[in-house]
Structures are given as C-alpha cells and as structure tokens.
Amino acid sequence: MKHLPAVVLIALGPSAITAASDYPVQPVPFTAVRLTEGLLHARQATNQLVTLPFALQQCESSKRVLNFDLAAETMRRRAAGETGFQNKPPTEYPFDDSDVYKALEGAAFCLSVETNAALAQQLEKLITHIAAAQEPDGYLYTWRTMHPDSPAHDWIDQRRWMKDPQLSHELYNLGHLYEAGFAHAQATGSRSLLDICLKSAELLQTDFGDGDPRIAPGHQVIEMGLAKLYRQSGDDRWLKLAKFFLDVRGRGGEYSQDHKPVVEQDKAVGHAVRANYLYSGMADVAALTGDPRYLAAITKIWENVVGTKLHLTGGCGARASGEAYGNDYELPNRCYNETCAAVAFLFWNHRMFLMTGDAKYMDVFERSLYNGVLSGVSLSGDRFFYPNPLEYDGRTANNHGHAGRAPWFGCACCPPNVLRTLASLGGYCYAVKGEKLFVNLYAQSEATATVAGSKVKLQQFTEYPWDGKIKLRVTPEKPGQFTLCLRIPGWAEGQPLPSDLYTYDDATPSEWSVQVNGKTLVLNGLRSSGRKSAPSHFPESVSRLTSAATLEKGFAEISREWKADDEVTLELPMPVHRVAGNEKIAATRGLVALERGPIVYAFEGLDNDGSVFDAVLLAAAKIKPERRKNFLGDVVVLNVTGASRATRKADGSLESKSAKLLAIPYAVWANRGLTPMAVWLARDAANARPPARPTIASQAKVTVSFNRSGMNLDPINDQLMPRNATDGFAPDFDFWPHKGTKEWIAYEFAQPTRVSAVTVSWFDDTGSGECRLPVSWRIVYHAEDGSWKPVTGASDYPIRKRDPVRVTFNPVTTRALRLEVELAKDFSAGIYEWEVE
C-alpha cells in the first residue's frame, strides 16, 4: 500500500473509497470483514480453495494467457524486421482477455483477505504476460496486436476503437483490466498491473480526451473501471473519461443501451449485462460528480426492473436472444438470466443503497445473491451455469451447449465474475454513514468499522438464512453514541419485492423483534403494512415506534450510547411463503412458488418421483421445513404433504393422485445430475403439465443448416408451441447472425414415416434483436433417390409472428423432412416450434 498516494486511499473494497465526494454511505471494506461460518462463509471458502485455482488454470489451458504471449511475440518479431509476421488468435472471442483480468481481480480480492505469497507471485508472473502484450503507446488488445495486418475477427475494424460500438470489446476488456489493476494494487501494494492500466488510460486520454471520436462503448464496464482509477489516483481525467463514455450514448440501438442519452433512459432494455454495468457506472459517476440526472434515470430504470422484469430468483435478462431484458412482464420460466447479469445486478443494487441508504436495494440484492447468483456455481466450485432458468426439462443442452453445469465456456464471462463477487462478499455486509452503522447482510462474521471517527468491533452470530435469529455483539473501542441500523427484510414485512410483481398468498408481516441486552425495543415492526409501492420501505406514519428505536428506510435504527459487549438480538420469523406472480406475467398464471426467508425453492425430479411439471401444490398441502446438515452442503428443505400429481389418461383427460413433494433451495439445483426442475408448480390440476405424448417431431433427430456455437436445437421440437400470437413464452431456435441467406431445419425419422401436415410458429424479435419473419418457406422431403423434393398440394405457406400456421399437403412417406426458409434481406429468422403430423 505504501506506493499509493495516501490522500485518497481511505479504505478498500469492491466499491471502495474516495476522494472528497463519493457515495454518501460507504461500505465497510471487505478486508475489514471476515465471514466465519455458515452458508456465505462456506461458498466463499470453496471459491477460494477451488474456484480460484480452477479459473486461473482455465485461463492458461483455454489459451487465454497464450493470446498475450502471441501478441508480445508479434510485436517483438515485427520490431526485429519481420514485416509480414502475425499470429492467429487461438481462442474464440476478442473479449477473451477480459476473463484473465476478472480472474486476476478475483485472485487479488482473495489476497486482500488472506496473505498468500505463492499466489501473489503467481499473479505477478501472470501480469508480466499482460505487460509484454501492451503496445508502446499503451494500447492493449491481444487480438489486434497479434494479427495487425488484417482484422482477426469480423468484430474488429482495421482502425482501433471504430467497431467498439458494435462488438470489438476493446473498451470492455480495458474496463475489466482497470478493475483488476485497482484490486491488485489495493491487495498487494504492487503497481505492476496498475501501471499497465494507467498507461492504457493515458492512451484513452489521447484518443478520446477531446471528446472525439464519439465512440459509445459497445459493452459497458469501462465506466466503472475508470471510476476506480479516479478513486485510486485522484486524477480527474479518468472521471471525465468515465462521464464522456456515458454522455456519448444515444445514437445507436437498444441492444447496448445506445438508443437514447443515458439521462433520458427510463426502462431496462437490451443486453442485460451491458445494461446493469451501465447503470452501475452511472451510479458511480453520479456519486463522484454529484450530477443528480444520472441517479434520477437509474432510479426509474430500477423501478422498471423491480416492477416488471425481475424473476423471483433475482435473475434478470430473460431473453436468450440478445441475452437481453424482455418487455415488461416478459418473465418466462425457461429464461436466460445470465449469471453475469445477476452479478452486475448486485453491483447496481449495492450502489443504489450506497447512494440512498435505503434498505429496499439490499433486499433485492439479497434475493439475487442467495438465489440467482449462487445458482451460477456448483457446490463443488468448479462447475458453472451461464443461464439460470427457473425451469428445466432434465435433458436440454441449454447451458451454452452443455446439459447441466459446465466446467468452463467458450464465452467464459460468468465463472470469473462469480469468483470475484464471492471473494469480496464481506464488503456488502456492513456500511457506514456518519453516526450510522448499517447491517445489511446477516451472516456469521466479524468486522471492524469506523463510525463517527472511532472503531467499533462487530461480531455476528447466526445460522441465517436457515434461521432468522441474529445476535450481534457490539464493541466500540470506547463507549460512544451512534446508531446501529438493522435491515428488516421486505420478506419479513410480507412483501417479496418492493413492487407488486410478486405477492405472498399470506402477506401478514412477521412478528419480528429487536432486543438490546435482553430488553425488547422494537416488536412486530409493521402491522399496518401498505408499503406496496411506497418509494421507501416504511410509511412515515409508523416510522417512530419507541424513543430508542425508529424505523427508517427499511432499517430498525437503534440510537444509544454503546459500550463493550452490548448485545443486540434480531429475530426474524421464517414462515414458508407461497408466492404468486403478478397476473400480467403469463408464465406464472395458475402457478405457485415457495420461499422461506430470502431463499427461493425449487423442485427437482430426483426428489419427486422423476417429474415436477405434473405436480400440484394444492392450497391444502402442508409444508414443513427441515434442516438437513449434510445434504447439498447444509440446507433447509421443504417437505410437502397433501400435494397431488396430474396424469394424462389415454383419452387425453387429466386425473389426480395424491403426492408428497420435496423442495430444495433453488441455488443448489443441478448438483446431483440431470433431472427436471421447476420453481413454479401448478396450483391446481388444470394448470399442471403432465408429460405430453411423444410425437413424430419430438422423436425425430434434428439437424440444421447453421448453428452458431452454443445454440440449442431443442426448442425446435420440445413440444412448447405458442398457442397464439400473444401466448406466454417458449424458447426459440434462430439462425442469427446469418442474414438474408437460405437455411433449413431437418427431421430424420427412425423409419419411413407418412406425413401430411406441418405446423410452424415463427419467431420475430423486433425491438431487441435481428430476427424477422422470413421471406418464404416450404417443406421438402427426402425422396427414395436421395434427392430433396418439395411436397405437393400445399396451396400456401403463410407467415405469421408467433401465431402457429398449419400447412397440409399430399401425404408422403419419407425418412426425413426439411423446412427450407429464405431469410429476409439484412435479417435473420427463427422458429419456436415445428410440429409434424
């Protein structure tokens, strides 16, 4: 640390500190917090012991580190006079550099928490590879440097930066580099990576400092990275650049939130990771510049997400197409919900809290953390999810080409994002503003905070989230007056989210209580409820309960003179809640989910006789929580008796039989092999989905003319056909990024099969993607002579969006059928389902 300017380095942390003006609330840095036991501690320990070395090793074995070496070699040999020499990148994407930076950042966070000379040395060695790949003027982007004579990828322009608004990811890589450089300097005091960052930032200053060219970063994160460089150095050029990269937006499309000036944006649109990084960057610039317009915009956008676009698990970015936020209430259960989007959502929510001191942001943070983020990594620490759906059929390769959790990905953004988040988790537990000390996350831990100039030691004893009893021992270095603020979660007040997106069937607030040294101060916080869409957590009418404790923005505040070993006990009862989705969410109509405390539950086929979609969680069913210490780590499961199961009789009608069910925390699903999973179950038999009978199409082998990496073919014949143009959501298959081409999808049958009709539902993502209805399509069959012949007798091939179209033709008996399609000029196309009769 001694190498860094002391002026600005007041504290450390994922959102650390600060020159004169920054967030009004400051996190207690993660270096001052130690998780000591319990769920978060266990996941963090696995993160450090398994995920960290695994990620560093994957960066090597996947050749991401080699990219840096090949870039360095190219520079060296060309400098020595080999004019034609260049290297072909051995990895798949121009943004692969960023995974190395994120892994480095995660490693640095681990080093901040625990000294480890071998790891520190390993990082220094890795940094020498990065340094060698930096061009003399500071430019760092291995794909161009190793292949300078011509772009090595369609996404790269011959000129630097010019395709960043599209897909080059030059600035994206740098954003992650800066975050890593900041973390590494904080952790080790070494400037090795930071100097690379500053040299790069000087180049940005040269190339963009005068506001020209007006390049809007295609994938945000540079804004957060520059804010960290500003905090680290106090050099306001970096803050101005961060602001420039925000203000330059507004001349492109929604995909990268470039459709409007950022301060005029009011809805979450486009690619969800980009979006959440953007909103986090806007929060940073709002905090550092004091410009209220950014905060006004992200407050509106946050309300849009929490009011209409957030899954129950706290996952966001529902659409696979464009990895994007959907429309309002577009919350399908077979959704995308990239792990990175949930991680970025944590960053954004934490910043909103730091700006406002309002607990509702940490309520949402908690929901995402315990559910949609922790689901992204296996209990073993070395298997990952890219998408985090709320429903799975037990077989589809929906995880970027893998069925179930995968060890790594061609596009490996998610694993190191989880790594760096879990490594710095302690930094989200506590915060300080003036004389207020906030307790945001409940987890067994020890922390030292500085409150109003004096040190306070905090010890937290709890089995949260499995039990709602929390004991805090408060030990100020000398007796002193300050305010301890305990977050009273929205779920304890009978409200899953600070919006009407989800509701509990029984919304009665819990009878929670706070005691200080055995004396009850606050009891039964809020019987009078009514906080549904109130902007702050509690209505003002009930804010003052006793002279010693008040409720303020979702916190129970206890102001007193604290002395050594004062003990505070918070009891949050944890009844099991049945949850309903807002009626506007098509995918959850007639369905119910279970929650207990901050934990969202899921049902796996493995625990439920192999199937879950046919299960019915009747209102009369009894639900009993049970702590199982050696099951899936250590969890509370829910035993359900008096449920039922719907089966389909031969005539197609439904009958019910009684059933017992078992639910596990959503975050630990898919740790025991492939099996169906559902968060939402039917409330009655009419909404159950017993297995459909196999069809000609569902049993056929599917091949396609083009399949970009990771695209899953199952949607084509998964028997999820939209019923009409406005029906709820089904997964799609599309040919993107092919545009204007002729493509086909084929079904091969096990034996010659007589077919006479097909039904197709066409996909069109106008507004978020580049798929449109095709120009034309037709059905051809595999003739005995081996050729493909059009079927006859089909009078017309109608084309409608979503609404299924059925085409009959003269029967043919064939081994294979093809759907041929001509894509519209400049657009791609896709389908939801192709059924054959």
Q: What is the binding site for Zn ion (CB under 5 A)?
A: 338, 340, 413-414
> In terms of CB distance, is 133 or 221 closer to Zn ion?
221
CB of 414 to Zn ion, least distance (A): 4
> In terms of CB distance, is 387 or 605 closer to Zn ion?
387
Q: With helix as H, strand as E and coil as C, how does 704-749 read?
A: ECCCCCCCCCHHHHCCCCCCCCCCCCCCCEECCCCCCCEEEEEEEE
Distance (Å, whole) CA 234 – CA 241: 13
CB of 797 to Zn ion, least distance (A): 38
CB of 315 to Zn ion, least distance (A): 12
Which residue shows structure tokens 């970015």? 317
> In terms of CB distance, is 273 or 492 closer to Zn ion?
273
Side-chain half-sphere exposure of 93, counting CA atoms within 13 A: 18
Side-chain half-sphere exposure of 449, counting CA atoms within 13 A: 30
Q: Sign of the C-alpha dihedral, residues 291, 297, 298, 299?
A: positive
CB of 408 to Zn ion, least distance (A): 12
> In terms of CB distance, is 398 or 510 closer to Zn ion?
398
> In terms of CB distance, is 424 or 608 closer to Zn ion?
424
> In terms of CB distance, is 285 or 374 closer to Zn ion?
374
Distance linking the first and last C-alpha atoms of the chain: 71
Tokens standing for residue 51:
């995920």
CB of 313 to Zn ion, least distance (A): 16
Tokens standing for residue 108:
């640095």
CB of 418 to Zn ion, least distance (A): 9
Instruction: Give phi and psi for 786, each to the nearest 5.
Output: 90, -5
Instruction: Give phi and psi for 674, each to the nearest 5.
Output: -75, 130
Orientation angle between helical segments 52-61 and 117-132, nearest 10 degrees = 30
**Nearest CA-CA partner of 267 in 298, 243, 310:** 298
Distance (Å, whole) CA 233 – CA 491: 41
CB of 399 to Zn ion, least distance (A): 12
Distance (Å, whole) CA 462 – CA 571: 10
Q: In this chain, which residue has its C-beta nearest to Zn ion?
A: 340
Tokens standing for residue 140:
């760092």
Confirm if 28 and 447 have CB atoms less than 8 A apart.
Answer: yes
Pairing of strands 513-516, 566-571: antiparallel
Residue type, 316: C
Instruction: Give phi and psi for 319, each to the nearest 5.
Output: -90, 130
For 336, residues 6+ apart whose C-beta sits below 8 A from its C-beta are 317, 318, 319, 320, 323, 324, 387, 389
> In terms of CB distance, is 414 or 587 closer to Zn ion?
414
Distance (Å, whole) CA 373 – CA 343: 6
CB of 415 to Zn ion, least distance (A): 8
CB of 341 to Zn ion, least distance (A): 7
> In terms of CB distance, is 268 or 340 closer to Zn ion?
340
Tokens standing for residue 641:
């008796």
Q: Which helix (H) or strand (E) holds 131?
A: helix 117-132
CB of 325 to Zn ion, least distance (A): 15
Pairing of strands 677-678, 549-552: unpaired
CB of 378 to Zn ion, least distance (A): 16
How many residues appear in the chain? 837
Give me the residues paired with residue 384 across strands. 377, 406
> In terms of CB distance, is 382 or 557 closer to Zn ion?
382
> In terms of CB distance, is 409 or 562 closer to Zn ion?
409
> In terms of CB distance, is 339 or 814 closer to Zn ion?
339
> In terms of CB distance, is 340 or 615 closer to Zn ion?
340
CB of 420 to Zn ion, least distance (A): 12
> In terms of CB distance, is 177 or 419 closer to Zn ion?
419
CB of 410 to Zn ion, least distance (A): 12
**Nearest CA-CA partner of 629 in 515, 473, 466, 743:** 466
